[in-house]
Amino acid sequence: MKKPDLKWPTIGHLLEDAANKYKDKILLIYEGEKLSFQEVNRRVNQMANALKELGVAKEDKVSVMLPNGFEFPIAWLAIAKLGAIMVPTNINYKEHDLVYILTDSEASAIVIHDEYLPLLEKVREQVPDLKHIVVSGEASFGYPHYQSITHQAANKFKIANVTANDMVNIQYTSGTTGFPKGCMLTHRYWLLMGDVISNFFQTTSEDINLTAQPFYYIDPQWNTILCLIKGIPLVIMHRFSPSKFWQTVKDNKVTFFYVLGTMPFYLLKLEENPALEQNHNLKFVYCSGILPQYHAIFEKRWNVPWREAYGMTETGVDLVVPVEDAASVGSGAMGAPVSTKEAKVVNDKGEKLSDGEIGELVLRGEPMMLGYWRKPEATQKFFKNGWAHTGDLVYKDEKGYFHWTGRLKDMIRRTGENISSVEVEGVLMEHTKIKLAAVVPVPDELRGEEVKAYIVLQESESQNTLSPQGIIEFARQKLAYFKVPRYIEYVDDLPRTPSERVEKHKLVAAKEDLRVGSYDAVDKKWR
């Protein structure tokens, strides 16, 4: 396990070094507009001065609730230079979520787009510690206006008393079980993340990166750091739009990008357009959660190597498959640990398991969060015996690659048999008429738990073209009898986190009796 040396003490120092080195080279591209390294640094300095003038100081928590564009990364980099702490805030939050994040993080300031200001006004009295509100957009409604205060501010800023181990983010995890937890992330965390990934990708000065995920999520942030380190442009999409994606890639001569597991499925559903989808500058694509049966299909359709990577907000980047390993296609392998990490598979007693045995993936090394904000018990549970406990069930193959099989809390126990929800979901989604599937346990007096599947059909399909009996029969042909869902419920969509994981706890909490609204394959009736 390598202990890396970093050239820069903080994110702010990295930005200044990059601005001096790359000057007028383009750093950020958004909807046709371009900003150079020097221009980004100038705007960051203005934002840092404007926030300082308002009273934002070192270690103050600043919520950033902005859509994708130039303003989010500039606000983050300015907060980093100040030595303050950013709280990335989901623009899709409702009142309850927003109050929780602002109060739990102890945010004293917020940079918010005017589109979301009415929501903030509704909960203003519930967040009395919020002292400063900066509004971006066309109107500021009497609050300090992002564009005005930065335009008036000085474009030089001196970084003082900020170190690599200072916290720069409270990054709330998009957890699938209850309220999110805030991961305390340092300058060193982000610098290592960008350094490790850029070295593994072997990026050069000729590369062009793209991000389509929302900036309040972790991926666009590490992509920004990577581009600062390597002196390359980052193309920012307003949001992930399947219909605009490949045109954006082609028009901007993008050479690589990282996407999440569900994104390629939306792209796959588009009508094939080889002139657009295959005529590009891409060298490779990285993705988390590639379903093995689709891996070769992705590569053939889009004419570029797709490789798997694994990481968490808590741990940064952990496992990666090299671009040159074409033999990994379709294997389901997540790869081996990056140079700064160790990984092993353990049982519930913490004992290391042999290759091929399924257990929990545990990690140590860097980058790594400091812990969960204001949650010492959860932190202690996560960092048990000096290892980060991911909660993911995996096995290691003879090649040293790790394979994901499910979550510790995502198992169904039916009549003594352990069933992986992910396995059942994967089989159901092989059906051409099924768009998405989510599998949860239903309490059962006789069997302990039964299997229920929530089904989202393709837009052109209905229950008339794919009945519950048809789904169950399809599952019977591919799964052991005890894994076949007993209950089927059709839904228009599934609740998902920003990282596109299905929020199964919301499905479970929606009904007191999960059988209601389902087709029961045993009793052969709708409940």
| CA–CA separation, 23 and 301 (whole Å) | 38
Per residue in 429-457, pLDDT (tens digit) is 999 999 999 999 999 888 889 999 999 99
Distance between CA atoms of residues 278 and 288, nearest Å = 21
Mean pLDDT score, 340-364 = 96
| pLDDT tens digits, one per residue of 123-134 | 999 999 999 999
Residue 349 within any structural domain of the chain: no
Q: What average pLDDT score do residues 483-487 get?
A: 95
Torsion angles phi and psi, residue 146, rounded to 5: -50, -55
Q: Which of 263, 170, 306 is nearest to 499 (CA)?
A: 263
Please indicate, yes or no, if residue 386 is contained in any of the structural domains: no
* Domain total of the chain: 2
**Structure tokens belonging to residue 93:** 């939050």
Cα-based angle 390, 393, 398 (whole degrees, multiple of 5) = 110
Answer whether residue 147 is part of any domain.
yes
Can you give the pLDDT at residue 506? 86
pLDDT of 314 reads 96
CATH number of domain containing 169? 3.40.50.980
Provide the residue range defining the domain that includes 111: 1-23+30-194+207-227
The reply to whether 279 falls in a domain is: no
| CA 367/CA 226 separation, integer angstroms | 14
Strand pairing of 109-113 and 132-136?
Answer: parallel
* Alpha helical stretches, state H, 117-260: 117-123, 146-152, 187-201, 218-230, 242-251
Does position 174 have pLDDT exceeding 70, yes or no?
Answer: no
184 is a domain residue:
yes
Rounded CA separation 119/92 (Å): 10
Lowest mean pLDDT across 249-258, 303-312, 439-448: 439-448
pLDDT averaged over the chain? Answer: 94
H/E segment holding residue 235: strand 234-236
Asked if the structure places residue 272 within a domain, the reply is no
Identify residue 303 by its one-letter amino acid code.
N
| Residue 310 resides in a domain | no
C-alpha 497: how far from chain center:
8
Q: Residue 451 maps to which CATH number?
A: 3.30.300.30
Q: Is 469 inside any structural domain? A: yes
Q: Determine whether 250 is exposed, middle or buried from the number of CB atoms within 10 Å of its CB (0-12, 13-18, 19+).
A: middle
What is the pTM (predicted TM-score) of this model? 0.86
Residue with tokens 């371009």: 34
pLDDT mean over 230-257: 97
Q: CA 1 → CA 196, 320, 355, 364, distances in Å? A: 12, 15, 20, 9
Amino acid letter at 349?
K
Decide: 130 and 110 in contact? Cβ < 8 Å: yes
